[in-house]
Homo-oligomer: A and B are copies of this chain.
């Protein structure tokens, strides 16, 4: 299930985020203000702004998949230097392409792999703990916060923009 939780689902959420950013650009165009105002918006003065939220979304997905698959050392580096909507959209698209490179087999040993991060000072989580306690809640936290910053600033969004399409089966 790890592949399903990360690869198709996170790529869907990231694709939704691209459309949400399109809506933000359109809104800025209609209201005739620089969309950069939104990229620097935040909900509290000591909270990360929208651009930083989006960068963290990208790294949570990229490094989450890489660490679970045991391929962190080979994952592409990102310098967090994006300044424009176009640049952060390009990064999101790179993460989508990167995630799609993982097969279900790439996560076959992931649940029991011991995983760490630089700031954990040698402490570890099992892959399953890392996925459930860290990757999933962090990913959705930063996607939702990005959405909330735009929603608060008047961009016309609803939860369907966040959730995206459901793979419904029609009634028989």
A residues with CB within 8 A of B: 1-2, 4-5, 9, 12-13, 43-44, 47, 111, 114, 120-126, 128-129, 132-134, 136-138, 140-141, 144-145, 148, 151-152, 154, 159, 162-164, 166-171
Known contacts A13-B137, A43-B151: does B1 contact A124 (CB below 8 Å)? no
When the two chains form their complex, are residues A44 and B152 in contact, meaning their CB atoms are under 8 A apart?
yes
Q: Give the oligomeric copy count.
A: 2
Q: Which residue of B lies closest to A123 (CB)?
A: B168
Bound complex: CA of A160 vs CA of B37, how far in Å?
28
When the two chains form their complex, are residues A159 and B141 in contact, meaning their CB atoms are under 8 A apart?
yes
Distance from A143 Cβ to chain B, minimum over Cβ atoms (Å):
8
